Amino acid sequence: MRHFTPALVTAALAALLAGCGGGDEVTVPPAAAVVTPDLKSSIAVIGDMPYGTSPTDTAQLLGNPAFISAVNSDADVSLVLHVGDIHSGKEYCTQAYDQSVFEQWKAFKSPVLYTPGDNEWADCHKAKEGGGVFNATTGQIDYKTDASANYLSYAGGDPVANLNLVRSIFFATPGKTSVGALDVHSQAKDYDTAYPSDSQYVENVWLEKSKVLFVTANVPGGSNNNTDPWYGAPTMSPVQALEVANRSAANLRWLDTAFKRASDNGDIAVVIQVQADMWDQDGASATHIAGYKQFIDKIATKAKAFGKPVLLFNGDSHTYRSDNPLVAAAPCVVEPSSGATAVACSGVTSVSATYGSADAYQNQPGGYNVPNFHRVTVHGSTTPQEYLKLTIDPAANAANGADAFGPFSWKRMPKL
């Protein structure tokens, strides 16, 4: 990058003034050519919280204000990312609960960039979340209700209705963050008019900070991209099939948009924020995560073409993990127990039991070789609660490692 010193600028101005009387024309560099490096910034990344072990367990919810206060006490933090799941898969989906979390988040001093998780919409149909169960005899749904025949979960746990509920609370103003009114580019406004249904995805946004483009995509975890039949029915309903198809296509187009913006704007890196751990088999067969491969393919292709650092944050599997699942046999670290210092994945038996392989690449093989990619799974659900402090230094260029990559470095911050 060319630097314009005060002497150079003075000389250019003198030449320009001299030329005003009809002498030789002087070309002055446009203002946009003088680039002022962005300052460092720090971001708190959280997810899968607050969590309860049952519909009546409110310990983390009641403790959430203290956790928020702890994050606020970090004067470096200027943005909060929440990667989804604002309650556990054993709690009911209710308007009152969603609203209570939103009201708590208003206490954050920094804007909150949030992407919905499966527990607050895609999995609300499940009986353990107060939804219901498909009755093979009647062919109808037996909804979970209270003694007064009221649904335990909003709209009987209907996922589409619950996603719209989440949108109405956390994304009430398209083009703004969930909390903090920070301007963002929302797919609700910035969509390809050839696909008008994309305008419903107000939760998909991008913004730029420290010359890094941040993009969110609504990819819920735990349910094979939401293709496990709702209410345990034998097959997906037409409504569910349409939801999956429309959202998946919108997400893919949104990733295209984000990478194009990053390239056009000369950004130095991209951060992708989704809820799903797209490599976590969660004790099931490999087919259970097959629905995520379309997104992995897209990210791999776009990251490779971008050629600069791409960092993915996800939640869903709850255990802190740092790796590159787009390179076979890449180094991987994971916390062996809640809050413990991360160690090599190959040395932790529980990782293989959950993932099917300590090397996540093996769970979604696809001939990938994308060394400019890194993934971090955020610690969640269990105590100690913690946030990940992500620091962006545009002047840095760290090797792809366990706690740093390109302009990024990160540190786990146990709090409660």
For 363-387, what is each residue's pLDDT tens digit? 999 999 999 999 999 999 998 999 9
Tell me which of 149-153, 238-242, 291-295, 355-359 is least confident. 355-359
What does the pLDDT read at residue 414? 83
Please report, for residues 55, 99, 167, the alpha-carbon distance to residue 95 in angstroms, rounded to integers and kept in the order given: 14, 6, 11
Question: What is the structure's pLDDT at 286?
Answer: 87
Q: Is the pLDDT of residue 245 over 70?
A: yes
pLDDT category of residue 38 using cuts at 50, 70 and 90 = low
Burial class (CB in 10 A: 0-12, 13-18, 19+), 37: exposed
Residue 103, pLDDT above cutoff 80: yes
Tokens of 262: 């990053």
- Residue 353: predicted pLDDT: 86
Q: How confident is the model at residue 85 (pLDDT cuts 50, 70, 90)?
A: very high
Whether pTM exceeds 0.85: yes
* Whether the predicted pLDDT of 1 surpasses 50: no
Encoded tokens for 232: 């345990």
Mean per-residue pLDDT, 56-66: 96
Q: Say what the pLDDT of residue 223 is.
A: 87
Segment 114-143 mean pLDDT: 98
pLDDT of 36 over the 50 cut? no
Dist CA 251 CA 249 (whole Å): 5
| pLDDT at residue 209 is higher than 90 | yes
* Structural domains of the chain sorted by starting position, each given as residue range(s) with its CATH number in brackets: 1-36 (no CATH), 37-414 (3.60.21.10)
Checking if the pLDDT of 182 tops 50, the result is yes
- With a pLDDT cut of 90, the percent of the chain lying above it is 85
Distance CA 276, CA 222 (A): 7
